[in-house]
Amino acid sequence: MQPAQTPCPSTGILVQCRPGFEADALLELEAAARAARLIGKGEAVGTPGATLFRLDSPQPHDELRRRLDVSHLVFSRQAFQLIGRVEGFAGRDRLGPLLKALEALGERFSAILPETPDTNDGKEQAGFLRRFVPLLEAALAETGQLRPDSPHLPRLHVFLPGGDVALLGLSVASEGSAWPMGIPRLRMPKDAPSRSTLKLAEAIQTLLTPEEQHSTLRSGLQAVDLGASPGGWTWQLVSRGLRVTAIDNGPMAPSVVATGLIEHLRVDGFTWKPRKPVEWMVCDMVEQPSRIAPLMAEWVAGGRCRRSIFNLKLPMKRRHDEVERCRALIDQRMRAAGLKYILRIKHLYHDREEVTCYLTRR
């Protein structure tokens, strides 16, 4: 019988993001913390691609998780509750100090996520972690602290921000990315016409539950791709057997046309409407987000499609504000139609100056 576990307190929330988006990630995190009535302040981690909200007083991590759902954060690739810090993590014996710190915390874990900033320095650290983590896993399994057969236990994050410091954190599978650092390992399909296909592949895996993927991305369903050329997003749909109406004045790649599952119409994506409702509408048009958001809401609220994945191209400054503005525009249209809805927004790894959204009626 396992001894009772006394949870260690969390001292803050660390968010990993795309380098250059630290201010947006922190602004969003601070707003979420205020809404959860958490007292603290933003703090630099000392590396690009990460930011920290430091709590004024430590909180039990189960209670903190109930109060603040970090899975809803847009600019967060990965997030965890900070529970420890190991100094001097640069000598020949790195395993010993880390094991000592973890033993003092008194936690058990379902998995270990090795993480570094998404920088050149971080890539060098990642090479070390690939060799180090199997040793850590074996040691924690021997002491009973690592329990892969117990998915209800939190995951241990070992984050190396640089220098001789290791930060330790906790998350549960439902609130953080399954991928270390929130970076998916996706292969570029051989016949896909552009790398944008990876963006839609990541969106499907990130924004849809497994049940939603299985039930809504089935062979024979109808879809529309607004701004389709050269066909990266269309390819992602036809590869799953959907029939796609591709809307774009530009050409479609031969590999996509050869599937026999597309109809290409050279018309205006802002004015064209399908003759019958479709299951999916996807959109990667390069246009002002204040024009795209109402259009997407109109497609769903007006019954042209049941669900949509689309991009919002953001300005260089005040990106968080622009996301909230677009969220309000969508809410305005859905409320006018008297509809309850689901809207999920994420700054994906394959996104640059944009966010990707999923919208459907509830």
According to the annotation, is 231 in a ligand binding site?
yes
How many Å apart are CA 187 and CA 251, to the nearest integer? 25
Q: Reading across the β-sheet that carries 305-313, which strands appear in turn?
A: 262-265, 243-247, 222-226, 278-283, 305-313, 354-361, 341-346
How many Å apart are CA 332 and CA 173, to the nearest integer? 32
According to the annotation, is 93 in a ligand binding site?
no
- Torsion sign, CA atoms 358, 321, 301, 362: positive
What are the residues facing 225 on neighbouring strands? 246, 282
According to the annotation, is 229 in a ligand binding site?
yes
Tokens of 177: 């990315």
Q: Please state, in angstroms and as integers, the Cα–Cα distance from residue 314 to each residue in 286, 317, 347, 352, 356, following that order.
A: 10, 8, 11, 9, 11
Q: Where are the beta strands (DSSP E) in 131-289?
A: 155-162, 165-171, 222-226, 243-247, 262-265, 278-283
How many Å apart are CA 100 and CA 89, to the nearest integer? 12
According to the annotation, is 3 in a ligand binding site?
no
According to the annotation, is 196 in a ligand binding site?
yes
Q: What kind and span of H or E run contains 111? A: strand 111-115
SS3 content of the chain, % helix, strand, coil (to 5): 35, 25, 40
> Which entry of 123, 276, 313, 340 is annotated as an active-site residue?
313
* Category of 301 on φ-ψ map: left (φ > 0), alpha (ψ -120 to 50) or beta: alpha
To the query of whether residue 313 is one of the catalytic residues in this protein, the response is yes
* Category of 179 on φ-ψ map: left (φ > 0), alpha (ψ -120 to 50) or beta: beta
What distance lies between CA 28 and its chain's CA centroid?
A: 14
Which residues are catalytic, by number? 313
Binding site feature residues: 196, 229-232, 248, 268, 284
Binding site feature residues for S-adenosyl-L-methionine: 196, 229-232, 248, 268, 284
